[in-house]
Every structure is written in structure tokens, then in C-alpha cells.
Amino acid sequence: MATFRAISKIVGLKPEPETTPTLAKLIRQENARKTIADYHFTPSLRDHLKRVFDCVINTKGQGFWAQAEYGAGKTHFLGTLIDLLVWREENPWEVLADEEIKSEYAGALSKVKMFPIAFSLRGMGEASEADSLMRIFEEQIRQSLKEFAPSIESQVRLTSAELAVDWYDREATDPEKAGVRFFFDKEHKCTPDEFRNKSGPKKFGQELVRSTLPQGRLKGKYKERFALIYNQITRLGGYGGLLIVVDEYRSWQDRHVAGTAAYAEDEEILETLAYVLPSEHYNIITVIASQGDMPQKLSGGGEGDRFIPLYLLADKKQERLWRDRHLPMP
């Protein structure tokens, strides 16, 4: 009787290649050199990196909108950008294949210390208008502090609840603390300290917010909130600015329809980061990567205004149209 070998003994399956690596994987410290070494530069991609690097060197905050279809290399572009600017101890520039960029920027950028806030929006949040981009930013900034600056993470206040606790501990006057005691006695039949000991600082902060007593300390507007975050991180960590990179923004755009409160919040947050704060000399470089078009409000009226588009695998026609609209004639 004939015997047959199992197919698994004859044929071995190779793992599928990773055609779309995640941003989180590309910017890990142990992967930084490989990410950079594997990146292939075309003339247009080289020009895009130069525009970003020029802003970093000149401490000139700016927004960039990196646009391309799925699979066109947005994520690898972002990973290379971040790794070159962040992992100085890995000597990332020595594995860069592009001699032109290396010769022009390696020296100057090796002295720059930018704090990275980099994440993908794919799969984040809720499919509802109640979802908040500001909440996502707060969570991701906290995560970045844990990964890149653990020594200062506990000192940085981000959320409304954290700011409220900080207000209560450091700034509240005796009359204001009396108001807090009245609120907790009325709502919870206990003192503020008893509630904090029982429920923890997070819940305590949330109740302080609900009381509306620390209203002046909560920095409700996006400009004030991001300015506060920027000042804390740069002062405590010795950073020269923030590098904010958001991948897969299209998945967020598709859920927040124009005309809704969520859409208006998204526009205001991005405009604050890319234009409002940089115009007041906050060194914030913001790069948004999306398959979708840039919202009209964010395109601004000229060079250096709001977001500058970076068309990856260049859509030359679209890029020429933008330049014709926004750049002065030579």
C-alpha cells in the first residue's frame, strides 16, 4: 500500500510580506535605522522632506498635508521623517541613502530636539458626532510622553480633570476651596479629600470639572490648551518644539461630515496647530497624512498659510493647480 507524505512536509509557506507597515512599528527605536535605510527617494519626495526640514531648522512652525492614495507610501514617508528627527542616539543619518539630503541637513538637524506626537487615526474613536479629536490628542500626547519622555510624564497636565486637580492643589483660594467643600458635601456627602482617597485623582478631577468651580484654569479654547501643553513639554524636557504627525486622517474625515459640530472642532484644532500657534512663534510642525482632500478652510490663502500640500507619488497636475492659486508669479 502506497504511503504519502503530508503536504506540510513537502511545501513550506512563506509569511506574507508586510506591504503596509504601521506607523507605530516604523518609528520604534529598534526599527528606526531599517526604516530609513529602506526608504527610496524620488525627486518630489526629496523636495517634500526638504520643505519640512527647512521649517525645523528655522524653528518655523508649519502645517503640511501629505496626500496620496492607499499604498502610495504615506506611512513610510512619515516614519522616515520622524526617525531622522527623533532618534539621534541611533545615528540615523548614517544609513540614509540620499546623499543630497544627508549633506544639506544632517549636521543642522542632528542638533535639533523635537518632541514627537505620532499616531494613526485608523480604528480610533467612535462612529458618532460625539467623538472628540481633542480627546484623541490628549490620549496620544500622554502615550508619547510615556514612550519618549518618561522622566517628565508625571509632571505634564493634559486633560481637564488633570488641570482641575492641579488648580485645586496649587491655585485655589480659601473661598474657592470652601465652594469645593460645599459641592462635594451636597453631591457626595463627603469632603473633597475623602472623595479623592476613595475614588482616585481622576474621578476627583472629573467631579471638579463638573462643579465648574475651576473654570478659569481649564483653558477651554484649543489655542490655550495646546499652548499650555507645548510650554510644559518644551520647558520640562528641553525640547525645541513639537513634531505632530497624524496618519490615516481620511478614516476620521469620513465619519465627521461637513456642517457638524465634530467637523468644526476638527478644523479648529488643526488650524490652531498649523497656523494660529505658529503665527505666535510656537515651533509646531504638523503633518497630516490622508487619502482625502484638504478641507478648504485649512488651505489658507498663500505660501506659509495653514497647511501646505505634499502630494506623494506626485499628482503633478493637482500640485501645479495649488501652486498657481497660492504662490506668487516668478
- Top mean pLDDT of 62-76, 121-135, 161-175, 290-304 is at 161-175
| pLDDT for 305 | 63
Question: Whole-angstrom Cα distance, residue 162 to residue 147?
Answer: 20
Same domain, yes or no: 40 and 145: yes
**Is residue 234 very low, low, confident or very high in pLDDT (cuts 50, 70, 90)?**
very high
CA-derived radius of gyration, the chain? 24
Same domain, yes or no: 111 and 194: no
Asked whether residue 53 is domain-assigned, the answer is yes
What would the mean pLDDT of 214-243 be, rounded to a whole number?
88
Give the contacts of 74 (CB within 8 A, at least 6 positions apart): 66, 68, 247, 289, 312
Write down the residue that cell numbers 535605510 correspond to: 37
Same domain, yes or no: 209 and 261: no
Same domain, yes or no: 204 and 225: no
323 pLDDT higher than 50: no
For residue 46, give the nearest of 92, 91, 100, 87 by alpha carbon: 100
Asked whether residue 1 is domain-assigned, the answer is no
Question: Whole-angstrom Cα distance, residue 61 to residue 182?
Answer: 45
Question: Whole-angstrom Cα distance, residue 82 to residue 94?
Answer: 15
Residues in the chain: 330
Q: At 50, which CATH number?
A: 3.40.50.300
| pLDDT for 292 | 82
Q: Which residue has the higher pLDDT, 318 or 10?
A: 10
Asked whether residue 163 is domain-assigned, the answer is no
| pLDDT for 301 | 54
What would the mean pLDDT of 248-259 be, rounded to a whole number?
85
SS3 287: strand
Asked whether residue 247 is domain-assigned, the answer is yes
| pLDDT for 315 | 47
SS3 118: strand
| pLDDT for 300 | 65
Same domain, yes or no: 58 and 201: no
Question: Whole-angstrom Cα distance, residue 154 to residue 233?
Answer: 11
| pLDDT for 4 | 56
Write down the residue that cell numbers 542632528 correspond to: 110
- Percentage of the chain modeled with pLDDT above 90: 53
Sign of torsion over alpha carbons 239, 241, 243, 249: positive
pTM recorded for the entire structure: 0.80
- Count Cα neighbours of 259 within 13 Å in the Cβ-side half-sphere: 1
pLDDT in tens, 21-41: 788 899 998 999 999 999 888
Low-confidence winner among 1-15, 57-71, 109-123 (lowest mean pLDDT): 1-15
DSSP secondary structure letters along 223-274? HHHHHHHHHHHHHHH--SEEEEEEE-HHHHHTTS-TTSHHHHHHHHHHHIII
Same domain, yes or no: 190 and 48: no
69 pLDDT higher than 50: yes
pLDDT in tens, 150-189: 999 999 998 888 888 988 998 899 999 999 999 999 999 9
pLDDT in tens, 121-156: 987 765 544 578 988 999 999 999 999 999 999 999
What would the mean pLDDT of 282-289 be, rounded to a whole number?
96
Asked whether residue 96 is domain-assigned, the answer is yes
CA 298 to chain centre: 17
Domain that holds residue 99: 21-150+219-326
Same domain, yes or no: 186 and 84: no
Mean pLDDT across the chain, nearest whole number? 84
What would the mean pLDDT of 47-69 be, rounded to a whole number?
92
Number of domains the chain contains: 2
Question: Whole-angstrom Cα distance, residue 76 to residue 44?
Answer: 15
Rounded to 5 degrees, φ, ψ at 319 are -65, -40
48 pLDDT higher than 90: yes
320 pLDDT higher than 70: no
**Is residue 71 very low, low, confident or very high in pLDDT (cuts 50, 70, 90)?**
low
Question: Whole-angstrom Cα distance, residue 43 to residue 235?
Answer: 37
For residue 33, give the nearest of 93, 76, 85 by alpha carbon: 93
| pLDDT for 132 | 84
Last residue within a domain, chosen from 160, 181, 213: 213
